Amino acid sequence: MQQPPHTQPPTPNPQLQLRFWGTRGSIPTPLAANLGHGGNTSCIQILIPNSEHPEATFIFDAGTGIHSLGRTLAHDTPHNIHLFLTHFHWDHIQGLPGFGPLFSPHNTLTFYSSHGRHELRRILQAQMAAPYFPIEFDHLASTQHFEHLEHHPARIHDLTVEPFALHHPGGATGYRISRNNATIVYATDHEHGNPAADARLLRAATNANILIYDAQYTPELYPHRIGWGHSTWLEATRLANRANVKQLVLFHHDPHHDDATLHNILNQARQHFPNTTTAQEGTTLTT
Ligand SMILES: [Zn+2]
Ligand SMILES: [Zn+2]
């Protein structure tokens, strides 16, 4: 079952665009029944309308969706790619070895995470080390930099990216992305119920234009998944109401949820927070 396309009134002076390249949690599920929302794992891109720095590319997470994103970046011009990682579970890094721009000498990639620079480099090297991948990270043609975002924001041109800690096994980082008066909050891989983490997320999400939230489970399934590190569509709507966000996006879809199931979830969520949508691979939101 296909859900209706997003109907957005045109934004008069758009500041940020958000493109979904991978919306699935846990593991890719490219089944026919899932393709309305997509089978690729977490990857979003932030675009700046009429940017003065068209070479700058902003990506959050490197799930399998990043492969298709890479194909949109021209091979023969330099790109300055800023890649923010929430954490290193497979569904957030698995697409990296298939990200074409890594292999071009024109490109510079800067990786950001809440881990120290050397630790971040070691983690990414290990993912591509033999016998897992034929090309060693150290032999990539592109140039790489590594940045540690602990409690301070990154400012790149006129984009500000503020990290905050989520509640997830092994830790995960949420990002508050803002430009002028527009804000998008990327909060995936978060389990509600930890008071300190919930307070941090509420603070980050307050008055955001768009909140992207980990809605992997239904409220019925959640009691059987406590401690697994994910939340529900109902908690998503509660947070959206408390934080007074303009639009809520349900994200990190469960591998078992096909398009029909997600359509039902969306209908229920809209009864609690009307301006809700489900993240769909290949779509763009503007704010
Ligand atoms: Zn995940
Ligand atoms: Zn995770």
Which DSSP symbol is given to 6?
Answer: P
How confident is the model at residue 12, as a pLDDT? 80
Give the domain ranges of the chain: 17-286
- Tell me, in angstroms, the distance from the centre of ligand 2 to residue 246's CA: 26
Ligand at shortest distance from the CA of 41: 1
pTM of the model: 0.96
How confident is the model at residue 97, as a pLDDT? 97
Secondary structure class of 243 (helix, strand, coil) = helix
What six digits make up the tokens of 192?
A: 């509600």
DSSP labels, 116-185: -HHHHHHHHHHHTSTTT-SS-GGG-SSEEEEEE-SSS-EEETTEEEEEEEE--TT-EEEEEEEETTEEEE
How confident is the model at residue 7, as a pLDDT? 56
Ligand at shortest distance from the CA of 169: 2
**Superfamily grouping for domain 17-286:** Ribonuclease Z/Hydroxyacylglutathione hydrolase-like (3.60.15.10)
- Tell me, in angstroms, the distance from the centre of ligand 2 to residue 26's CA: 7
How confident is the model at residue 1, as a pLDDT? 47
Geometric angle at alpha carbon 69, from 34 and 209, rounded to 5°: 80
- Tell me, in angstroms, the distance from the centre of ligand 1 to residue 91's CA: 5
- Tell me, in angstroms, the distance from the centre of ligand 1 to residue 12's CA: 34
**Under-50 pLDDT residues of the chain:** 1-2
